[in-house]
């Protein structure tokens, strides 16, 4: 019953925000310094910015068609699903900000989840202190909202160390801020709870440390130069046994539908689960981006080192991506130093919208020592080519089309499990992804 009432409330709030989108404008009350904005969701704020409330959200409806290596039998398959359907509630009370995002989208079998629930103190400006549940601040691609990333799915390189871009249901505290108009930095400690299965034999959760530093010597409306350094580390505090961290590394290779489709739920395995376990886990990343008018270039590098528990061998994962994007209609991507991230493209022509094309290349590899505790190969690798076009119909609606081509080595294919047809050993695959997005 409670779930029905909550769902009804969520639907009503969603309808209110969507209907408000159609009546853009600003109203100032007579004698009570309050503004109501309805251009993007529903926002109520005092003119001195001391108090505010905002209700918004996003809807992302996806469709994927894929074949070859993307499927368990190498035949063609497809899937339609809600990638995200979020309600976002936030605001501030003087120097205190709050944010609560609830996701009702398909989660490969998971239930509704809190995407973020945080409280932030801003009284030490330009330093902010945030506590609660939030995704780690790691990678330029991850820092950029899912609403405004160029490709439908973020780079597969991030799958090599997925814990650096997902809160894993844990809690944490983060300090971040900007200075001198060109520097941004953040540091956080986050705890992964028992839902992740990472507790040790004594019930102690795993603590992770994250740090990100960015220098952007050029930041303007039409030109950006961005350099970033990322670091993350954690220790699993055990040496094998029932609670060993097995260090499996897998990836969807840019197609979420392979997980949403129950007949093709297996991912590409680049590093097989090792029952002897790993103790320490560290990840280092580099970021680069340059934008000049409608042209932008972006690249990231990631290196992950897993040290084997006891006498077990080590595992190393490396990956990089490179992307070039061009806005055919001439608009520049918006960049925000607070958060060191790209934001939306706002169409200059309200009738035709903005059109963007891009190409991205992802390269991933995992290398194991010979003395690992599982039968595996020394090195496995994969790469993905992604071509895409985005149409920003207006500031609320975005339609995207991606075409992906992936290639793996033959040794990587031998790691796969769950193949349902004899001879299902394709080492390449193709996919088409579509997304319709509404932001309010």
CB 180 within 8 A of CB 216: no
Backbone angles phi, psi at 18, to 5 degrees: -65, -45
Burial 161-182 (b: 16+ CB within 10 A, else e): bebbbebbebbbebebbbeeee
**Calpha distance 440→433 (Å, rounded):** 23
Indicate if 64 and 89 belong to the same structural domain.
yes
CB 249 within 8 A of CB 366: yes
Q: What's the domain range around 80? A: 55-439
Q: Which residues contact 427 (CB under 8 A, 6 or more apart)?
A: 69, 407, 408, 409, 410, 412, 413
Q: Which residues pair with 214 in a beta bridge?
A: 184, 228
Instruction: Inform me whether the pLDDT recorded for 98 exceeds 70.
Output: yes
Name the CA dihedral angle for 54, 154, 221, 340, rounded to a multiple of 10 degrees.
Answer: 70
CB 119 within 8 A of CB 95: no
Indicate if 34 and 65 belong to the same structural domain.
no
Indicate if 13 and 85 belong to the same structural domain.
no
Indicate if 13 and 132 belong to the same structural domain.
no
| 17-to-11, 23, 37, 93, 99 alpha-carbon distances in Å | 10, 10, 11, 22, 17
Indicate if 150 and 284 belong to the same structural domain.
yes
Q: Which residues contact 220 (CB under 8 A, 6 or more apart)?
A: none
Tell me the pLDDT tens digit for each residue of 262-295. 777 667 888 888 888 899 999 999 999 999 999 9
**Calpha distance 100→119 (Å, rounded):** 9
Indicate if 382 and 323 belong to the same structural domain.
yes
The CATH number linked to 250 is 2.40.160.10
What was the pLDDT predicted at 105? 77
The stretch 114-126 carries a mean pLDDT of 93
What is the count of structural domains for the chain?
2
Instruction: Inform me whether the pLDDT recorded for 9 exceeds 80.
Output: no
Output the CA angle 165-299-340, nearest 5 degrees.
Answer: 60
Indicate if 4 and 116 belong to the same structural domain.
no
Residue labelled with tokens 């194991």: 368
> Where residue 372 falls among pLDDT bands split at 50, 70, 90?
low
Instruction: Inform me whether the pLDDT recorded for 360 exceeds 60.
Output: yes
Neighbours of 23 (CB within 10 A): 8
Q: Is 251 exposed, middle or buried (0-12, 13-18, 19+ CB in 10 A)?
A: buried
Residue labelled with tokens 């590899």: 365
Q: Which residues pair with 324 in a beta bridge?
A: 297, 359
Q: Which residues pair with 55 in a beta bridge?
A: 42, 89
Name the CA dihedral angle for 418, 423, 425, 428, rounded to a multiple of 10 degrees.
Answer: -120
Instruction: Inform me whether the pLDDT recorded for 175 exceeds 60.
Output: yes
Tell me the pLDDT tens digit for each residue of 123-159. 999 999 999 999 999 999 999 999 999 999 999 999 9
437, HSE (Cβ side, Cα atoms, 13 Å):
28
Range with lowest mean pLDDT among 65-69, 271-275, 389-393: 271-275
Tell me the pLDDT tens digit for each residue of 306-325. 999 888 889 999 999 999 99
**Calpha distance 204→236 (Å, rounded):** 10
Q: What is the pTM of this model?
A: 0.87
Ramachandran region, residue 354 (left: φ > 0; alpha: ψ -120 to 50; beta: rest): beta
Closest CA relative to residue 232, chosen from 198, 269, 207, 200: 207
What was the pLDDT predicted at 18? 44
**Calpha distance 200→219 (Å, rounded):** 45
**Calpha distance 370→354 (Å, rounded):** 52
Indicate if 14 and 59 belong to the same structural domain.
no
> Where residue 326 falls among pLDDT bands split at 50, 70, 90?
very high
**Calpha distance 348→352 (Å, rounded):** 9
The stretch 112-116 carries a mean pLDDT of 79
Indicate if 307 and 349 belong to the same structural domain.
yes
Indicate if 43 and 95 belong to the same structural domain.
no
3-state DSSP helix/strand/coil percent for the chain, to nearest 5?
10, 50, 35
Indicate if 405 and 364 belong to the same structural domain.
yes
Q: Is 434 exposed, middle or buried (0-12, 13-18, 19+ CB in 10 A)?
A: middle
Indicate if 133 and 39 belong to the same structural domain.
no
What was the pLDDT predicted at 128? 98
Mean pLDDT of the chain: 86
Return the sign of the alpha-carbon dihedral for residues 36, 38, 40, 42.
positive
């Amino acid at each position: 019953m409670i779930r029905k009432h909550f769902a009804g409330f969520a639907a009503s709030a969603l309808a209110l925000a969507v209907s408000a989108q159609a009546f853009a404008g600003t109203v100032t009350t007579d004698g009570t310094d309050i503004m109501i904005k309805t251009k993007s969701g529903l926002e109520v704020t005092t003119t001195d910015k001391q108090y505010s409330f905002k209700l918004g959200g996003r809807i992302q409806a996806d469709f994927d068609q894929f074949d070859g290596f993307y499927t368990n039998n190498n035949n063609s398959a497809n899937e339609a699903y809600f990638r995200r359907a979020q309600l976002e509630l936030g605001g501030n009370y003087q120097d205190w900000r709050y944010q609560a995002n609830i996701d009702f989208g398909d989660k490969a079998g998971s239930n509704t989840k809190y995407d973020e629930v945080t409280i932030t103190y801003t009284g030490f400006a330009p330093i902010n202190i945030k506590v609660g549940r939030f995704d780690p601040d790691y990678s330029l691609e991850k820092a950029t909202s899912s609403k405004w990333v160029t490709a439908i799915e973020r780079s597969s390189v991030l799958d090599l160390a997925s814990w650096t871009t997902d809160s894993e249901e844990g809690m944490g505290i983060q300090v971040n801020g900007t200075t001198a108009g060109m520097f941004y930095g953040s540091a956080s400690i986050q705890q992964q709870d028992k839902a992740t299965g990472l507790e040790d034999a004594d019930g102690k959760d795993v603590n992770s440390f994250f740090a990100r530093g960015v220098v952007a010597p050029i930041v303007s409306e039409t030109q950006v130069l961005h350099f970033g350094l990322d670091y993350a580390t954690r220790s699993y505090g055990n040496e094998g046994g029932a609670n060993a961290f097995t260090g499996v590394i897998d990836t969807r290779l840019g197609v979420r539908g392979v997980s949403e489709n129950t007949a093709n739920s297996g991912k590409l395995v680049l590093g097989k689960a090792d029952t002897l376990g790993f103790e320490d886990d560290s990840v280092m990343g580099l970021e680069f981006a340059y934008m000049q008018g409608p042209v932008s270039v972006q690249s990231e590098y990631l290196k992950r080192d897993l040290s084997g528990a006891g006498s077990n061998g080590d595992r190393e994962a490396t990956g990089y991506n490179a992307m070039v994007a061009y806005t055919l209609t001439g608009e520049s991507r918006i960049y925000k130093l607070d958060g060191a991230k790209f934001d939306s493209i706002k169409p200059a022509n309200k009738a035709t919208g903005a059109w963007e094309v891009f190409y991205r290349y992802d390269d991933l590899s995992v290398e194991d020592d010979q003395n690992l505790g599982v039968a595996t190969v020394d090195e496995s690798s994969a790469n993905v080519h992604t071509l895409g076009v985005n149409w920003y119909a207006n500031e609320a609606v975005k339609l995207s089309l991606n075409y992906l081509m992936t290639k793996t080595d033959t040794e990587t294919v031998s790691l796969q499990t769950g193949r349902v047809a004899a001879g299902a050993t394709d080492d390449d695959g193709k996919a088409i992804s579509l997304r319709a997005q509404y932001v309010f």
